[in-house]
Amino acid sequence: VGSRNFLLTFLESSNDCEDNQTRNRGFSKRGDSEYEQDEGMQRAGGLFGSRRPTLSGAGNGDTYQNRSGSGSGRDSWKSEAEGGESGDTQGPKVTYIPPPPPEDEDSIFAHYQTGINFDKYDTILVEVSGHDAPPAILTFEEANLCQTLNNNIAKAGYTKLTPVQKYSIPIILAGRDLMACAQTGSGKTAAFLLPILAHMMCDGITASRFKDLQEPECIIVAPTRELINQIYLEARKFSFGTCVRAVVIYGGTQLGHSIRQIVQGCNILCATPGRLMDIIGKEKIGLRQVKYLVLDEADRMLDMGFGPEMRKLISCPGMPSKEQRQTLMFSATFPEEIQKLAGEFLKSDYLFVAVGQVGGACRDVQQTILQVGQYSKREKLVEILRNIGDERTMVFVETKKKADFIATFLCQEKISTTSIHGDREQREREQALGDFRCGKCPVLVATSVAARGLDIENVQHVINFDLPSTIDEYVHRIGRTGRCGNTGRAISFFDPESDNHLAQPLVKVLSDAQQDVPAWLEEIAFSTYVPGFSGSARGNVFASVDTRKGKNTLNTAGFSSSQAPNPVDDESWD
Ligand SMILES: Nc1ncnc2c1ncn2[C@@H]1O[C@H](COP(=O)(O)OP(=O)(O)OP(=O)(O)O)[C@@H](O)[C@H]1O
């Protein structure tokens, strides 16, 4: 017990970047945001003057393996995916080389089963905004893909299209720009990969390992390293047996390794923004042949975290203008102001596909909100985890330091736990994800770096130990469970001291997803005025229309926007 108290005291007191008052109070909401430090910010000393001592043991309840990278007192504005590898890097050279993924077919096509609610996707209302949209397809056969692609789709276990695939695939095959919004876990990745591969197979590809300069036909960007690697594995799966070569590059790994992957041939480049801009700056790829630019988690890619780098990307020498390329954006959430920003990247006649409620939560996730003060959270968390047992659970916290602390605390409680956040080295992050995926550590404590896109089999529970600062982030976090027709549970600790601003949008998300809304939450929601929030507490059946109001907007119920009640107001959470 002595060592346990020491450890907890040590970890709590080790946040010496926080003021004394915070230390005595536990954790401040401020703490370290989840903007990963720039690669160059990783100095030997970091926040504590020397690397934090390594606590040995891993997940067996004794102690918790953590060699958090040196935190930097200052969070750079580099994306949370990675720091850049720009020339001004002063820190130690990043030498990590990720192990190559298994090459055997079973591993390449490994997948989990669709869930009991997969067929319910067909009941979701889909809205397509814009002119001359090609009709949706109902089957893979209607997409008229080549035999190799169809074989790969079958090996991946796909027999039926999801709604976002039914609408997106023909639109992309028709060469149109697209902004697609569909719930978490509903197949957005294949919705863009399959038609792009179909195009590449038909039009032929130029980049090959025999070329001095690699000029990829497709660039895909995503906000985090683990997500872009996941997308790469999907691209590798669907391009199996074809001449198309996918490559993935991301920060936290040796730059030379990224370059070596590219020079072996690169038709589809999956990249996080920082590493991509470095590779472009070092002229390791050419952009003249880019035909497809894909922004996954697009609202995140366009916000202040990544927006500047995205604008730099489309302004790079050689990058085809938006008229000369096809630009595709996907996300489960798309705030209106971001939709407007997207216009800079998309042709003016882009199509907007909204599957269900834009920004709505996945209805296969049972959402529970508990009122828990900050001093009661740890006890409540242990109580819930003990009830859950070994089912895979993701626990989201607001800061990187808290992630380590809670993971350590749970290990002390004999709950096998690991953690992932931006201060851990990439090797540790990938190890943690692997330990979670295989069940060695059934609990993963994470910051927002793991909130979006990650597709991990059998995640039965998501616990928001800390609620996020935005409702969109909440939707993404709980979307780590309840994927592809499977069901899942999300439990969130609502602290009235700090979360009241979320009450109204939470009530809307819960009611739109036909979840029980606690009376106490409704009371807070209606007593807390959030400027600009006009969302009615009760949802509506129509998907959001896109912000290009007045355009010819049809939903599959056949209403034109003038006939259908305009849901935009209901949609605007802010
Ligand atoms: N048509 C399909 N049939 C069966 N499984 C599918 C189909 N489409 C996608 N899947 C599977 O569903 C899971 C979720 O897909 P994906 O990760 O693309 O969802 P997403 O919409 O991108 O989610 P998020 O918004 O969280 O990023 C993956 O395991 C994928 O292989």
Among 76-85, 468-477, 534-543, the range with the most confident prediction by mean pLDDT is: 468-477
187 close to ligand 1 (CB < 6 Angstrom): yes
Beta strand pairing status for 365-371 and 417-420? Answer: unpaired
pLDDT > 70: what percent of the chain?
Answer: 76
Q: How far is the CA of 190 from the centre of ligand 1 (A)?
A: 7
230 close to ligand 1 (CB < 6 Angstrom): no
332 close to ligand 1 (CB < 6 Angstrom): yes
190 close to ligand 1 (CB < 6 Angstrom): yes
Going through 89-195 in order, the beta strands assigned E by DSSP cover 126-129, 178-181
Task: For residue range 129-188, list pLDDT tens digits in order.
Answer: 999 999 999 999 999 999 999 999 999 999 999 999 999 999 999 999 999 999 999 999
Q: How far is the CA of 484 from the centre of ligand 1 (A)?
A: 6
66 pLDDT tier (thresholds 50, 70, 90): low
> Domain 105-355, what fold?
Rossmann fold (3.40.50)
pLDDT for 42 beyond 60: no
484 close to ligand 1 (CB < 6 Angstrom): yes
Q: How far is the CA of 477 from the centre of ligand 1 (A)?
A: 15
- Residue 266's identity, in one-letter code, is C
92 pLDDT tier (thresholds 50, 70, 90): confident
13 pLDDT tier (thresholds 50, 70, 90): very low
105-355 and 365-527 have identical folds = yes
481 close to ligand 1 (CB < 6 Angstrom): no
**Mutation test of ligand 1: which of 116, 126, 138, 188 has the most ligand atoms closer than 8 Å to its C-beta?**
188
Better-scored residue on pLDDT, 337 or 531: 337
pLDDT for 277 beyond 90: yes
pLDDT of residue 503: 98
498 pLDDT tier (thresholds 50, 70, 90): very high
Q: How far is the CA of 353 from the centre of ligand 1 (A)?
A: 17
pLDDT for 540 beyond 90: no
Provide the 8-state DSSP code for 370: E
What DSSP assignment string belongs to 289-308? T--EEEEETHHHHHSTTTHH
How many Cβ atoms from other residues are within 10 Å of residue 95's Cβ?
11
What DSSP assignment string belongs to 412-432? HTT--EEEE-TTS-HHHHHHH
**Mutation test of ligand 1: which of 455, 457, 458 has the most ligand atoms closer than 8 Å to its C-beta?**
455
pLDDT mean over 455-482: 98
pLDDT of residue 209: 73
> Domain 365-527, what fold?
Rossmann fold (3.40.50)
Q: How far is the CA of 158 from the centre of ligand 1 (A)?
A: 10
Query: What is residue 116's three-state secondary structure?
Result: coil
Q: How far is the CA of 109 from the centre of ligand 1 (A)?
A: 14
**Mutation test of ligand 1: which of 117, 183, 186 has the most ligand atoms closer than 8 Å to its C-beta?**
186
- Residue 128 near residue 170, CB atoms below 8 Å: no
478 close to ligand 1 (CB < 6 Angstrom): no
Ligand 1: residue whose CA is nearest its atom 15: 187
What is the spatial distance between Cα 163 and Cα 387, in angstroms, rounded to a whole number? 36
Q: How far is the CA of 42 from the centre of ligand 1 (A)?
A: 35
Q: How far is the CA of 186 from the centre of ligand 1 (A)?
A: 5
What is the spatial distance between Cα 225 and Cα 430, in angstroms, rounded to a whole number? 10
Ligand 1 atom at minimal distance to the Cα of residue 160: 1
188 close to ligand 1 (CB < 6 Angstrom): yes
377 pLDDT tier (thresholds 50, 70, 90): very high
pLDDT of residue 542: 33
Q: How far is the CA of 187 from the centre of ligand 1 (A)?
A: 3
pLDDT of residue 17: 31
Q: Could you state, in order of their start, the residue ranges of all structural domains in the chain?
A: 105-355, 365-527
Q: How far is the CA of 165 from the centre of ligand 1 (A)?
A: 10
pLDDT mean over 41-57: 37
139 close to ligand 1 (CB < 6 Angstrom): no
pLDDT of residue 562: 37
Output the average pLDDT for the chain. Answer: 83
Q: How far is the CA of 188 from the centre of ligand 1 (A)?
A: 6
pLDDT for 538 beyond 60: no
pLDDT of residue 212: 83
Ligand 1: residue whose CA is nearest its atom 4: 158
pLDDT mean over 486-505: 97
pLDDT of residue 202: 87
Better-scored residue on pLDDT, 6 or 379: 379
pLDDT of residue 352: 97
477 close to ligand 1 (CB < 6 Angstrom): no
483 close to ligand 1 (CB < 6 Angstrom): yes
pLDDT for 477 beyond 50: yes
pLDDT of residue 549: 57
Ligand 1 atom at minimal distance to the Cα of residue 157: 4
pLDDT of residue 205: 77
Ligand 1 atom at minimal distance to the Cα of residue 189: 18
**Among 57-61, 249-253, 434-438, which is the least confidently predicted range?**
57-61
What is the spatial distance between Cα 271 and Cα 432, in angstroms, rounded to a whole number? 21
Ligand 1 atom at minimal distance to the Cα of residue 186: 21
Task: For residue range 320-333, list pLDDT tens digits in order.
Answer: 999 999 999 999 99
pLDDT of residue 530: 64
Better-scored residue on pLDDT, 535 or 467: 467
Maximal C-alpha separation, the chain? 70
pLDDT > 90: what percent of the chain?
Answer: 72
What is the spatial distance between Cα 134 and Cα 268, in angstroms, rounded to a whole number? 25
pLDDT mean over 544-559: 48
Residues in the chain: 574
Ligand 1: residue whose CA is nearest its atom 9: 187
What ipTM describes this predicted complex?
A: 0.99
What is the spatial distance between Cα 457 and Cα 483, in angstroms, rounded to a whole number? 9
pLDDT for 30 beyond 80: no
Q: How far is the CA of 21 from the centre of ligand 1 (A)?
A: 45
What is the spatial distance between Cα 200 and Cα 146, in angstroms, rounded to a whole number? 11
Distances (CA, A) of 91 to 32, 75, 430, 458, 518: 20, 15, 21, 38, 49
pLDDT mean over 494-509: 97
pLDDT for 112 beyond 80: yes
What is the spatial distance between Cα 14 and Cα 173, in angstroms, rounded to a whole number? 54
pLDDT of residue 203: 84
Task: For residue range 449-460, list pLDDT tens digits in order.
Answer: 999 999 999 999
Side-chain-side CA neighbours of 245 within 13 Å: the count stands at 15
What is the spatial distance between Cα 569 and Cα 369, in angstroms, rounded to a whole number? 25
pLDDT of residue 72: 41
Q: How far is the CA of 80 from the centre of ligand 1 (A)?
A: 23
Contacts of 2 (CB under 8 A, 6+ apart): none
Task: For residue range 171-228, list pLDDT tens digits in order.
Answer: 999 999 999 999 999 999 999 999 999 999 988 777 677 778 999 999 999 999 999 9
224 close to ligand 1 (CB < 6 Angstrom): no
189 close to ligand 1 (CB < 6 Angstrom): yes
Query: What is residue 368's three-state secondary structure?
Result: strand
